[in-house]
Amino acid sequence: MFVSDCLGVSPEGHLTIGGCDTVALAAKYGTPAYVMDEGNIRQNCRQFKASIDEYYDGNGLVLYASKAFSCKEIYRVVASEGLGADVVSGGELYTALKAGFPADRIYFHGNNKTREELIMALDAGVHRIVVDNLTELAVLDKLAKEKGKVVDILFRIKPGIDAHTHAFIRTGQIDSKFGLALENGEAMEAVREALSFQNVNLAGLHCHIGSQIHEIEPFELAAEVMLTFIKKIFDETGFLVKELNLGGGFGIKYTDEDRPQKYTAYMQRVSTVVKKKAAQFGLPVPFVLIEPGRSIVAPAGITLYTVGAVKEIAGVRNYVSIDGGMVDNPRYALYKSSYEVLVANRAADPKDYMATIAGRCCESGDLIQENARIQKPAPGDIVAVLATGAYNYSMASNYNRIPRPPVVFVKDGESRVVVKRESFEDLVQNDL
């Protein structure tokens, strides 16, 4: 019935998540509020883990790409499910460490890590630093030398795959700010340099072709390109790359139009390519990592808002104003992303009203959805936007000095706050 199977409707016609009534949650925690079903997050972690174990014969690891949603509790949850984590900034690393996430399961990414972040990662003893470019490689080797360490690295490679997704979230093609290109010899030059350096150890390669991808073929192509590069490295230098991180990017269902692939189908088809190519090249199958972010947390989350004014502009459109907007979910403003929206206190009623859901910022583009079909709302109703568990809280801002909403975890009918609502005092705490 809904885009995510953690959602349902109560006998009173209220939307439920993780066995909790969303109208009661809105009354208890206020709105706007992010609500996430911990059970759904854990189930997603388990599905990825089980399928990587099955298709790579236990020779693989799932990393949670924590840019999708980062707070202390999510690191605790994914750590307890046996996943590693991909962090992309000093802030994410700090949060993970504060949550007690084991450093030896942390992979540190970023296309322009600062010197301070590299030092922080070295001091923390993260498992791998994913090096983006030659400048970073040289800086890292020097920093590791100063600390008397040898740091294990992966190189981020652009496999030259143009995945079918929004241009802003496509990353695998040569015209991308991320990583080292194969076409112009830059990637091979980086490998040779790393092999000549004393304080970096080339543990493996990484690629990530983009996000919200529904086809499996681009992932198969990327795996083939990466295996071919591993073979080229072996032939030209004699060095055997033992670890291959194939990134994240698996699409999820935001609306009924989305047709995501089953993750087991992805794992089955991509592992077949990896094994086939390794056999063809006479090389051992590398240790394989994947980095899902969105697909672990997005389906588990919803955002609850309260309706303010409803402006019906005859012959133009109906604006339904909510008490949040681009500050807590900038994805429509950025990418025109589609979402399913409904009135949570009348979830079973027909969606017979066309509404543009407008936020409260001083921006005409502050919209959550245009011309969406929802139940006709009245002021005071609770609106739910579905599948907001990824890239919502993590991309939220304080524009117009609006405090960020809380994050509430639900599970089996119980709820608890894992991130408190920001207060006005929080907003001024760094002001002098």
Q: Please enumerate, by residue number, every residue annotated as part of a binding site for substrate.
A: 294, 331, 335, 363, 391
Q: How far is the CB of 297 from ligand PLP (least distance, A)?
A: 8
Which position among 14, 105, 109, 128 is part of the footprint of ligand PLP (CB under 6 A)? Answer: 109
What is d(CA 245, CA 288) in angstroms, rounded to the nearest whole number? Answer: 6
| Token duo for residue 243 | 């670890």
Please give the annotated binding residues, written as ranges: 249, 291-294, 331, 335, 363, 391
Which position among 48, 55, 391, 393 is part of the footprint of ligand LYS (CB under 6 A)? Answer: 391
Q: How many CA within 13 A on the CB side of residue 45?
A: 23
What is d(CA 261, CA 121) in angstroms, rounded to the nearest whole number? Answer: 35
If you write DSSP's letter for every residue of 278-304 in order, what string do you get? HHHHT-PPPEEEE--SHHHHGGGEEEE
169 binds ligand LYS (CB under 6 A): yes
Q: How far is the CB of 156 from ligand PLP (least distance, A)?
A: 7
Question: Strand, coil or helix: what is 394?
Answer: helix
| Token duo for residue 11 | 């006998």
294 binds ligand PLP (CB under 6 A): yes
CA 330 and chain centroid, separation = 15
138 binds ligand LYS (CB under 6 A): no
For ligand LYS, give the closer residue by CB, 293 or 377: 293
6 is catalytic: no
Separation in Å, CA 109 to CA 20, 37, 43, 106: 36, 27, 26, 10
**Tokens 């543009």 belong to which residue?**
356
**Contacts within 8 Å (CB) and 24+ apart, 370-376:** 370/317, 370/332, 371/317, 372/339, 372/341, 374/320, 374/341, 374/342, 374/343, 375/342, 375/343, 375/346, 375/347, 375/349, 375/350, 375/351, 376/343, 376/352
68 binds ligand PLP (CB under 6 A): yes
| Token duo for residue 204 | 């493996």
**Site mask for ligand LYS (CB under 6 A), range 196-235, x = bound:** ---------------xx-----------------------
291 binds ligand PLP (CB under 6 A): yes
Count, residues near ligand LYS per rule CB under 6 A: 7
| Residues within window 203-232 making contact with ligand PLP, judged by CB under 6 A | 208, 211
Give every CB contact of residue 76 below 8 A, 6+ residues apart in sequence: 99, 100, 101
| Residues within window 120-139 making contact with ligand PLP, judged by CB under 6 A | none
For ligand LYS, give the closer residue by CB, 117 or 141: 117
331 binds ligand LYS (CB under 6 A): yes
Name the active-site residue from 71, 207, 361, 362: 362
Footprint of ligand LYS on this chain (CB under 6 A)?
67, 169, 211-212, 331, 391, 395
| Residues catalogued as catalytic | 362
Footprint of ligand PLP on this chain (CB under 6 A)?
65, 68, 86, 109, 208, 211, 247-250, 291-295
